[in-house]
Structure 1
C-alpha cells in the first residue's frame, strides 16, 4: 500500500494522536490481522462479538422489580 504525502500528514495530525489517546484510556489496539481473526475471518462482520459480550458482562446490569441482575446468556443472543 503506497501512501501519499497527504496520507502521511493525516496519520501524523489526527490518526496517531487519536490512537494514543484511546490506548491511554484503556483501549487495546488490534492489528488488522487480529481484528479479522476475532471476526472469524469474515470481513463483513463489524462487531467483535467476543469483546462485546465480555464488556457487556463487565459494564451492564439489569434492573427488574427493584433488584439488580447480571446479564445472562439470554441477553447476549446475537442475530
Structure 2
C-alpha cells in the first residue's frame, strides 16, 4: 500500500463516519460537514478540502513513481 492510497482510504473512511473521532481535524470529515452547506451556497467548505485531498494523493503518487524510476535499475 502506498501513501496516496492511505490518504484516499483515510479520507474516504472519515467521510463515511468511520475515521478518526470528531475533535481531530480531518479532510474527509470536512467534506462530510461541507456537504450539508453545499446547497445553501457555501461551496468552498467542501471544495477546498476535496481539492487538497486530490492534490496530496497525486503528489505522493507522482513522487513515488519518480523515485521508483530513479532507484529501480530494471525501469531504466
As a proportion of its length, which structure holds more strand? 1
As a proportion of its length, which structure holds more helix? 2
Higher relative contact order (CA 8 A, sep 6+): 2
TM-score (norm. length: structure 1) = 0.28
